[in-house]
């Protein structure tokens, strides 16, 4: 195994991701700090709105520490035809996105599904094989802290209500 402190450690990580995504819808692309793993999210053509969505797993590698961080970037473009013409909206979200979609062809013969967690598992599996550790992005840490604070406030409110109504 290549020592994680060598320049080849990034290349080894990337090569394993390329091998793991061969013959899949995932498209790996090298970047300076690591790599992007991109996939088109299948959408149902059965709606009036046309939605195009691309999910990118942005991976930043820190070979000296044998650590990596992963951020999801989801780009969505919606087209909707109506009486006023065609409206287009574009959104980009960044952070940790976990979701599942299902779609099928117009004749109902082909079904497609997508789970953003599958890309996370793929990248984490390669990292585990190489002995790398994941660093949570700041946005994920902030969201977790906000969630814990909200849970603590809700628990305190429930306890206060129980004290008031039971005694």
The SS3 call for residue 130 is helix
Q: Is residue 1 part of a domain?
A: no
Same-domain status, 16 and 96: yes
Same-domain status, 56 and 92: yes
Q: Is residue 2 part of a domain?
A: no
Give the percent of the chain with pLDDT over 70: 83
Same-domain status, 86 and 112: yes
Domain that holds residue 78: 8-135
Nearest CA to 52 out of 71, 75, 28, 24 is that of: 75
- Summarised one tens digit per residue, pLDDT across range 16-53 is 999 999 999 999 999 999 999 999 987 755 555 677 88
On whether the CB atoms of residues 58 and 38 are closer than 8 A, the answer is: no
| β-bridge mates for residue 135, sequence order | 69
Count the domains in the chain: 2
Q: Where are the beta strands (DSSP E) in the chain?
A: 27-30, 34-41, 49-62, 67-82, 85-95, 100-104, 111-115, 133-135
- Summarised one tens digit per residue, pLDDT across range 32-41 is 999 999 999 8
The pTM of the whole model exceeds 0.85? no
- Reading the block at residue 131, the tokens are 């002995």
Q: Is residue 73 part of a domain?
A: yes
Same-domain status, 17 and 62: yes
For residue 56, the model assigns a pLDDT of 95
* Cα 30 from chain centroid (whole Å): 18
For residue 3, the model assigns a pLDDT of 46
pLDDT at 5 over 60: no
**Whole-number Å distance between alpha carbons of 74 and 161:** 41
The count of other CB atoms within 10 Å of the CB of residue 9 is 20
- Summarised one tens digit per residue, pLDDT across range 112-149 is 778 889 999 999 999 999 999 998 766 666 777 888 88
On whether the CB atoms of residues 137 and 120 are closer than 8 A, the answer is: no
Same-domain status, 115 and 73: yes
């Amino acid at each position: 195994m290549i020592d994680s402190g060598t320049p080849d450690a990034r290349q080894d990580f990337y090569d394993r991701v390329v091998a793991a995504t061969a013959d899949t819808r995932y498209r790996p692309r090298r970047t300076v700090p690591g790599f992007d793993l991109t996939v088109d999210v299948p959408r149902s053509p059965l709606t009036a709105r046309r939605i195009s969505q691309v999910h990118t797993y942005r991976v930043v590698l820190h070979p000296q520490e044998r650590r990596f961080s992963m951020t999801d970037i989801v780009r969505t473009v919606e087209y909707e035809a109506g009486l006023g013409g065609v409206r287009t909206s574009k959104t980009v979200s960044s952070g940790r996105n976990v979701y599942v979609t299902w779609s099928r062809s117009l004749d109902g013969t082909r079904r497609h599904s997508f789970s953003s967690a599958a890309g996370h598992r793929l990248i984490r599996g390669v990292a585990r094989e190489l002995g790398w550790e994941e660093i949570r992005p700041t946005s994920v840490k902030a969201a977790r802290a906000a969630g814990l604070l909200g849970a603590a406030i809700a628990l305190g409110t429930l306890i206060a209500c129980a004290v008031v109504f039971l005694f």
